[in-house]
A and B are shown apart, each in its own frame.
Chain A
Amino acid sequence: MSNAVSTLNGASFDGYVRVEEQGLVGMITLRGDLASKPLAKAVKAATGAAMPGQGEIASGDKGRVGWMSPDELLLIVDHADANDMVAALTKALAGEHALAVNVSDARTVFRIIGAATREVVAKVSPADVNALSPGQLRRTRIAQIPAAFHLIDEETAELVCFRSVGKYAFDLLKDAALPGGEVYA
């Protein structure tokens, strides 16, 4: 297999918060009936996580599962495991109306780290980031592009966007994190 390279090769920026590209992250889009038992079982087997509720992200020992829409999940796993996991999911869901696709190399993942994490994310998105608590996933936009983000803890946010706009997202987050741009300084 060819050598996988992430969008920005782990680039980072230190402003009044730190913006980091996460390098290679495994991601699987799973569509299907989220209320179905076989699907919940397959997700549990793949990631160890329980089925997340509306707008939530659940974590397990082998990965995390985010609720993206009423019929879509995003599984965030180890990059090396993604292909095997898709095969396992496809096998487990053979009788179901469901589809699992490895989208690892079609996405870019960032982390925004620092005390002002919420502020920097709030600057670029219309979502009410202050109302967001860890464990909740919000799928919205940042400036001109679609993105999804959630808080890992109070000072760390993880943001996922399309790879084709990864550089744009990085530049945008860098700009929002520039020293001197503090809103509540």
Chain B
Amino acid sequence: MLILECPYCGVMADETDLHGDGEAHLKRFGPGSSDDDFEGYLFMRKNPKGVHFERWRHASGCGKFFHAARNTMTLEVYGTYSAQTLEPPKAIIDAVKAKHPEWEGYK
């Protein structure tokens, strides 16, 4: 069972309290962008075996979206953080790097 701490409520919510909303930190390409960019924004998603940044929603709790950094292979959670950010905070990056010095970054 995956357990994430909601950064807004401070509760340790399990998977059944949450709703996964896919990859985090997508850059939106809207009207006027090139077809390739638009296709990438709409359809192309990472599917890494290892460190992944995701959006989650505390669906049956406060209802807020938040971000989580976790490992898709080991289910280890590196941390959760506010959704009001464009990239992972330094503390999260450091937590990942401490475990995986060879990790290539979130981009």
Contact = CB atoms under 8 A, between A and B. Distances in A.
B40 interface: no
A128 B13 CA distance: 9
Contacts of A69: 8-9, 61-64
A55 B62 CA distance: 10
Contacts of B61: 69, 139-140
Contact of A140 (B10, B60, B64): B60
- Secondary structure type dominating chain B contacts: loop
A72 B8 CA distance: 12
Interface in A16-31: none
Interface string B62-89: 1110000000000000000000000000
A139 B10 contact: no
Interface residues of B, number: 14
Interface residues of A, number: 14
B17 A126 contact: yes
Contacts, number: 38
Contact of B60 (A70, A128, A141): A141
Given A126-B16, A140-B17, A141-B16, A55 B11 contact: yes
B87 to A, nearest CB: 22
B93 to A, nearest CB: 25
Interface in A58-77: 68-70, 72
B12 interface: yes
Interface string A48-92: 000000110000000000001110100000000000000000000
Interface string A142-185: 00001000000000000000000000000000000000000000
Interface in A110-136: 126-128
Contact of A70 (B14, B16, B17, B64): B64
B11 A138 contact: yes
Interface of B: 8-14, 16-17, 60-64
